[in-house]
Amino acid sequence: MAQKTLKISETPWQEAYARLTEIIQPRPIALASTLDPELGPNLAPFSFFTIVSSNPLYLAFCPQISGRNGTPKDTLLNIQRHPEFVIASVTESIAEQVNAASTPLPHGESEFDFTGLTPVPAQKVKAFCVKESPINMECTLVEIRSYGNDPGAGNLIIGKIELIHIDEAVLDANGKIDPALLQTVARMGGADWCRSQDRFSYVRPDR
């Protein structure tokens, strides 16, 4: 079988990054709502996003240093200044607005205004929830780990989930979140996204 091997130390980082995002897919998308204490709210999507601990309940996402201009993204700057944030789920109904929220607006310009998504006050944190998303998770910062200052360098942001708000419209009769109602979308390689509506089930062998 012919195979191509990428030696990462000899591969331009942009190419290695593109291959990795084609390999690790589909990736769920965190819609991160943050706050600059002086300049106000900010919203941006991040598909480098996962659970990191169930007890305590921690999640992580990763704003990279911009590959475009080598600067830290507003989301990172805001969390460094104000260590709280809200992560909203990205569903089919808001996918286009979420994509628009990735526009690199000048620091201090709100992607809420730009996309038409609606900020609503959270209960525990000062960052806003996203009205149009059925799930909003209020988080406090646990730690930030930075992996350099070069374009593309990652910043791992770990947050403790303090409150989860769930729109009852996405709950089934047993109070569980029904994926057929939630309708999340995810990120593939390049410009591709995917839906979560083609599913199958296995009972785990240890259950």
Ligand X SMILES: Cc1cc2nc3c(=O)[nH]c(=O)nc-3n(C[C@H](O)[C@H](O)[C@H](O)COP(=O)(O)O)c2cc1C
- Residues lying near ligand X in the complex (CB under 6 A) are found at 29, 42, 44-48, 62-64, 73-75, 99, 102, 104, 187
Q: Which is nearer to ligand X, 59 or 73 (CB)?
A: 73
Q: Which is nearer to ligand X, 57 or 95 (CB)?
A: 95
Count of other CB atoms within 10 angstroms of residue 137 = 22
Q: Closest separation between CB of residue 74 and ligand X, Å? A: 3
Residue indicated by tokens 């310009």:
109
Q: Which is nearer to ligand X, 48 or 128 (CB)?
A: 48
Q: Which is nearer to ligand X, 63 or 159 (CB)?
A: 63
CA–CA dist 96, 90 (Å, integer): 10
- 199 contact partners, CB below 8 Å, separation of at least 6: 179
Count of CA atoms in the C-beta half-sphere (13 A) of 79: 28
Q: Which is nearer to ligand X, 2 or 23 (CB)?
A: 23
Q: Which of 194, 196, 188 minimizes the C-alpha distance to 19?
A: 188
Q: Closest separation between CB of residue 117 and ligand X, Å? A: 13
Q: Which is nearer to ligand X, 73 or 84 (CB)?
A: 73
Q: Closest separation between CB of residue 138 and ligand X, Å? A: 18
Q: Strand pairing of 185-187 and 27-28?
A: antiparallel
CA–CA dist 153, 65 (Å, integer): 5
Q: Closest separation between CB of residue 4 and ligand X, Å? A: 25
Buried b (16+ CB within 10 A) or exposed e, 104-119: ebeeeebbbeebebeb
Q: Closest separation between CB of residue 202 and ligand X, Å? A: 28
Q: Closest separation between CB of residue 181 and ligand X, Å? A: 21
